[in-house]
Amino acid sequence: MSFDIAVILAKGPQILAGLGVTILIWVAGTFFAVILGFIVATARRYGGPLVNLVLAIPVEVLRGTPFLVQIFLLYFGGPYIGLRLDPIAAGLLGLSVYGAAYYSEIFRAGYLSVPPGHVEAAECVGFSRLQTILFILLPEMALLVLPPSMNMAIILLKDTALLSLITVPEMTMTVSAIGSQQYAFVESIVVLALVYWGLVEVANWLGRITERKIAKLSVT
């Protein structure tokens, strides 16, 4: 049994294309997840008990079930209710909604961390609710929500690998396909593992730098 990574690396352009799809879906998916998560958390905070309860259900369902089952349901089950998506769209939608459930919990904890007195003080000086959120609540919770947010982003990066199972042409699918064609499957998986490992370590490092920068800005 020979071990020849070169036959995999020879397909550099294809690998890079797969990497590109992975990063694109990851960045876009995380972006939408953060926005949607923030909207859900804000709606749960200000929307009254009924909205809070109604939104709690999807959040708990998404957090309590495997991502794989969610994307299978969306991709294979969707067409039966008229939701016919191509793999990339399904993957992006799935990742965004799944991530949003976790981000909404992160922001919920963030809202809870701000002392009510600060909000009351903002209302007293005539801030609107939106102004209070933008200028008081968000900056105050930033330091608290940043580490779990970074963490979640890295989890989402690793979870993009599952999209290969609904034929999204991201890195795992691309590289393992190269491995099968070249009769070098083990080599292809080793390359995959190393690339992901490198990506995650870089993301970790960026996260640490950002945290340090933000920590310097904060007064407390």
Partner 1 sequence: MTWYLFQLLLQASLMTIFVSAISILAGLVLAVFLSALRMSGNRWMYGGAGLFISFFRGVPLLVQLLLIFNLLPVIGITLPSLATAIIGLSLSTAAYQAENLRGGFEGVPIGLIESAEMAGFSRVQTFIHIRTPIALRMTFPALVNEAILILKASSLVSVVGLVELTKMAQNLAASTYQPLPIFASAGLIYLVINLIVAFAARRAEDALPGLPAK
Contact present, 94 and 28 (Cβ < 8 Å): no
Any contact of residue 159 with partner 1 (CB under 8 A)?
A: yes
Q: Which stretch binds partner 1 (CB under 8 A): 24-32, 111-119, 122-130, 194-202?
A: 194-202
Among 18, 21, 34, 70, binds partner 1 (CB under 8 A): 70
Contact present, 43 and 82 (Cβ < 8 Å): no
Least CB distance to partner 1 at residue 91 (A): 14
Among 5, 56, 72, 89, binds partner 1 (CB under 8 A): 72
Closer Cβ to partner 1, 48 or 77, answer by number? 77
Site string for partner 1, 79-118 (x = CB under 8 A): -xx-------------------------------------
Locate 28 and state its tokens. Answer: 């876009």
Any contact of residue 5 with partner 1 (CB under 8 A)?
A: no
Quick one: residue 114, left, alpha or beta (phi over 0 = left, psi -120 to 50 = alpha)? beta
Among 176, 177, 207, 211, binds partner 1 (CB under 8 A): 176
Calpha distance 198→30 (Å, rounded): 19
Look up tokens 């799809």; give the residue. Answer: 21
Among 10, 46, 48, 77, binds partner 1 (CB under 8 A): 77
Calpha distance 56→106 (Å, rounded): 14
82 three-class SS: coil
Calpha distance 41→136 (Å, rounded): 16
Nearest residue to 178 (alpha-carbon basis) of 34, 47, 17:
17
Q: How big is the chain by its Cα radius of gyration, in Å?
A: 21
Among 84, 158, 208, 213, binds partner 1 (CB under 8 A): 158
Q: Which stretch binds partner 1 (CB under 8 A): 30-38, 124-132, 139-147, 154-162?
A: 154-162
Locate 127 and state its tokens. Answer: 């801030």
Least CB distance to partner 1 at residue 99 (A): 14
Contact footprint for partner 1 (CB under 8 A): 1, 60-61, 64-70, 72-73, 76-77, 80-81, 158-162, 164-165, 172, 176, 185-186, 189-190, 192-193, 196-197, 200-201
